[in-house]
């Protein structure tokens, strides 16, 4: 009888571990830290945020997790500033991308009126911040 009870406890424990144990699905990983640049854009990826500079435009979003297929999505903000700097919060924007090794296709979709989505092919080019060419 004791063997039956032990066998039953082991069987239930095994099934429960299988239901709550580790999955075989790949775990998303953070976008590689560093400076990604190309096509007039520069993206500085750090913890906890990413800073994007495109001429006089700049955006910010949380460091995204890259799925096993290389894609990611993040919500943040994006604004173009020329002249006096606004103290109002930057308008929302959606950032999406496809990372493959040291290459990154980044799409910025601003919600501000008159701004169209923009895509950039970026290459991981080292560490550090992005400079702002527009003053």
Nearest in space to 110 (alpha carbons), one of 78, 135, 69, 134: 78
| Cα–Cα distance, 109 to 94 (Å, whole number) | 5
Q: Is residue 2 part of a domain?
A: no
In the predicted model, what is the mean pLDDT of residues 21-43?
88
Q: Is residue 42 part of a domain?
A: yes
Domain ranges, residue 82: 26-124
Position 24 scores a pLDDT of: 74
Q: For residue 119, what are its two tokens?
A: 């895509």
pLDDT digits (tens, 9 = 90+) for 45-64: 999 999 999 988 999 999 99
Q: Is residue 135 part of a domain?
A: no
pLDDT digits (tens, 9 = 90+) for 57-98: 999 999 999 999 999 999 999 998 776 667 778 899 999 999
If one counts the domains in the chain, the total is 1
Q: Render 74-134 in DSSP notation, one character per residue.
A: EEEEEEE--SSPP-SPPPEEEEEEEEETTEEEEEEEE-STT---EEEEEEE--SSPPP---
The neighbouring-strand residues paired with 79 are 58
Position 12 scores a pLDDT of: 38
Position 67 scores a pLDDT of: 97
Q: Is residue 6 part of a domain?
A: no
Residue entry with tokens 């991308």: 97
Q: Render 30-83 in DSSP notation, one character per residue.
A: EPPPEEEEETTEEEEE-SSEEEEEETTEEEEEEPPEEPTTSEEEEEEEEEE--S
pLDDT of 5 higher than 50: no
Q: Is residue 95 part of a domain?
A: yes
**Confidence label for 22 from pLDDT (cuts 50, 70 and 90):** low
Q: Is residue 113 part of a domain?
A: yes
Q: Is residue 14 part of a domain?
A: no
Position 23 scores a pLDDT of: 61
**Confidence label for 115 from pLDDT (cuts 50, 70 and 90):** confident
């Amino acid at each position: 009888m004791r063997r039956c009870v032990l066998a039953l406890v082991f069987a239930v424990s095994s099934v429960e571990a299988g239901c709550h144990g580790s999955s075989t699905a790949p775990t998303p990983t953070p976008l590689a830290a560093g400076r990604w640049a190309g096509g007039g854009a520069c993206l500085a990826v750090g913890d906890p945020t990413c800073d994007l500079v495109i001429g006089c435009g700049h955006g910010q979003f949380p460091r995204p997790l890259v799925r096993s297929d290389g894609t990611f999505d993040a919500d943040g903000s994006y604004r173009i500033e020329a002249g006096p700097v606004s103290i109002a919060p930057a308008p929302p924007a959606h950032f999406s991308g496809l990372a493959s090794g040291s290459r990154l296709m980044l799409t910025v979709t601003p919600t501000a009126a008159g701004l169209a989505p923009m895509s950039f092919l970026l290459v991981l080019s080292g560490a550090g911040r992005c400079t702002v060419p527009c003053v």
